Amino acid sequence: MFCLPGFLKRQKPRLSFHRSSPVRSRRLGWLFLPVFLVAAAQAAATDIKDLVAERAEQEFGVTMPARGYFDVRLAEGLIQEGEYIQEFWTDRKTGQFIANVVTAHGEVKRIWGAAILKVPVPVPLRRILPEEIVHEADIQIIQVPWARLGAFAVVDETQLVGMQVRRMLVQGRPVPRNSVIPPTIISRGEKVKIELNYGALHLVANGRAVSDAHLGQEVRVVNLSSNKTITAIATADGVVEAMQ
């Protein structure tokens, strides 16, 4: 009987398992722990500008404009991220601030700069003269510091588009509220239709307007049938409703 040499015999592969010691595993864990902690701290840090804007909004409270936001500018060379603001001082008039920020490593760092409160404001693209109607194509939206506006500027484009100009509007300048009015629908001296509604009763008479009026405004008109002057409400172009 022919036999193969022993070293040519097919041998089954052997799998070997190396069990790491508990002491070595703990050492490796402590070795990588600082890396994990640093990564976690970096992930949790917040942009300093966001922290400052958030704190500035808290300072303004209920006086914060509905569409207002803070344009934050930091001095050069300061930290860019932090956990939270520990202390905060600001001047509302200038927007300048100083703050103490706690970093992700628990350190307290001093920062300073300016947080300017701004709002989107509609302004004319051209000079608009009295009696003209403001159209959507006549305005654009720009970002304006709140301190520049004052309390009487139009800040919502819906309060400007469709309005009639009372005083000339300057190109690129915020519009004072008293510079625009609702469109005039009743002109002084023009003939109007006077309506009287009383329950199911509906009467109509001809009249003449004594003054101008916009929608919803009171206006005095002369009833041409009785030649009496009455007070009415402007309800549509050339139409008024007699007050009872």
Whether 41 has a pLDDT exceeding 80, the answer reads: no
Tell me which of 178 and 38 has the higher pLDDT. Answer: 178
Max alpha carbon distance in the chain (Å)? 145
Q: What is the pLDDT of residue 231?
A: 94
80-108 in b/e burial notation, b at 16+ Cβ within 10 A? ebbbebeebebeeeebebebebbbbeeee
Query: Which of 91, 58, 98, 104 lies closest to 75, judged by CA?
Result: 98
Kindly state the DSSP code that residue 22 receives in the 8-state scheme.
H
Whether 240 has a pLDDT exceeding 60, the answer reads: yes
Cβ-contact 100, 85 below 8 angstroms: yes
Banded model confidence at residue 24, pLDDT cuts 50, 70, 90: low
Banded model confidence at residue 29, pLDDT cuts 50, 70, 90: low
Q: What is the pLDDT of residue 66?
A: 86
Summarize pLDDT for 62-97 with one digit per residue, the tens: 889 889 999 999 999 999 999 999 999 999 889 999
- Average pLDDT estimate for 130-151: 92
- Tokens standing for residue 124: 């004319």
Query: Which of 91, 165, 86 lies closest to 133, judged by CA?
Result: 165
Whether 43 has a pLDDT exceeding 60, the answer reads: no
157-188 in b/e burial notation, b at 16+ Cβ within 10 A? beebeebbbeeebeeeebbeeebbeeebbbee
Q: What is the pLDDT of residue 27?
A: 54
- Average pLDDT estimate for 154-165: 93
- Average pLDDT estimate for 102-116: 95
Whether 3 has a pLDDT exceeding 60, the answer reads: no
Whether 16 has a pLDDT exceeding 80, the answer reads: no
Distance CA 56, CA 202 (A): 59
Whether 14 has a pLDDT exceeding 70, the answer reads: no
Banded model confidence at residue 4, pLDDT cuts 50, 70, 90: very low
The amino acid present at 143, given as its one-letter code, is Q
Domains detected in the chain:
46-118 (no CATH), 119-181 (3.90.1210.10), 185-242 (2.30.30.760)
Summarize pLDDT for 173-228 with one digit per residue, the tens: 999 999 999 998 999 999 999 999 888 888 999 999 999 999 889 999 999 999 99
Banded model confidence at residue 2, pLDDT cuts 50, 70, 90: very low
Whether 163 has a pLDDT exceeding 80, the answer reads: yes
